[in-house]
Amino acid sequence: MNRAALRAVGAAALLWLLALATAGPARGEPAVIRWMVRDVPPHFSYRDGRPPQRPADLGRGEIDGFVRLLIEQLPQYRHEFVDAGFSRFEALVRQGQTLCSPLHVRTPERLSWLYFTHVHPPLFSRQIHLVVRRELAPQLEALGASVQLADFLQQKELRGLLPRDRSFGPRIDALLYEQAFLAPKTIVAGRHAHLLAMLLAQRMDYTFEYPSAVDEYLRSSRQPPDALFKLPIQEGASTQQATFACSRNAEGRSRIEAIDQAVRRMAADPQREAWIQLWRGKQIDEPDRQRIRRYMDERARGGPQID
């Protein structure tokens, strides 16, 4: 074979490889939704300490349980799971990968690289609390039944530490930004439990967390249930809905539209009470139940809710 023929064969092979690399799913294969997952019990928990490989591996907490139900409404997709922290997730999305997250709070900055839709109302278990060691509880109890973060940050003798790149809702985020010189320092933390362990080891005096996440950590690490003291943060009582997000590209837009449609189908389901019970079980109290019903009534009547 002469050189010209070899070059032609090589060029054809290169074009074939490029076509394979850029092609979408093969004919007959479903499109894929790749979900970010992270072990943040009890909201999203890894069974046996391993990330899910298939939908059946998902737990039944507030977030993973809702994802499990939502996936049942999306049979046109194959569902894959990517074990990633917030920084890695952002890096992958900014590199052009299409990923979806059930863990991201909507913020103005994130709207530049993620689409969002809301999926259910905020539940009391998701109100951010100030967490300290038990011996510091008297200082917090003197502040009342809840703490106003703007005032608490003035107590410079207490050292706080927060996970980097985590959002605590618009009010807390704005306050931390405005009072950056008083705000706690941040570190890259693989899991929320890492900071709680540091807190017990007296490497700092306080952090922010959901109360149920603190309780789960104390149980799993066999600590006394009162080893850490929790107090609601007034600015943590956000009115924002829980949100899911997908990469802000064409594929991500189609995924977030499908998620939004699935949520509306769930909201209009005649068997809605059954899936709410399956989702929240004994953990739901009556105020949360009524809040979910009102939200779902409005979601069923409304159109797409995508930002």
Domain ranges of the chain: 29-123+241-301, 128-236
Spatial CA neighbour of 165 closest among 193, 183, 191, 186: 186
Whole-number pLDDT of residue 141: 79
CATH topology for 29-123+241-301 is D-Maltodextrin-Binding Protein; domain 2 (3.40.190)
73-77 long-range contacts, CB within 8 A, separation 24+: 73/262, 73/265, 73/266, 74/33, 74/258, 74/259, 74/262, 76/30, 76/31, 76/258, 77/30, 77/31, 77/32, 77/33, 77/255, 77/258
Tell me the C-alpha distance between 75 and 201, whole Å: 46
- Torsions phi, psi for 208 (to 5 deg): -115, 140
Whole-number pLDDT of residue 42: 72
Is the full-model pTM beyond 0.75? no
Tell me the C-alpha distance between 273 and 264, whole Å: 15
Tell me the C-alpha distance between 113 and 53, whole Å: 26
CATH architecture for residues 128-236: 3-Layer(aba) Sandwich (3.40)
Please report which helix (H) or strand (E) contains residue 77, including its range.
Answer: strand 77-83
Query: Would you give per-residue pLDDT tens digits along the chain (307 residues)?
Result: 554 444 443 444 433 333 333 344 555 678 999 999 998 877 788 988 899 999 999 998 889 999 999 999 999 999 999 999 888 999 999 999 999 999 998 889 999 999 999 999 877 666 789 999 999 988 887 778 888 898 888 877 889 999 887 878 778 888 898 888 889 999 887 665 689 999 999 999 999 988 878 888 898 889 999 999 998 888 876 556 789 999 999 999 999 999 999 999 999 999 999 999 999 887 777 878 888 999 999 999 999 999 9
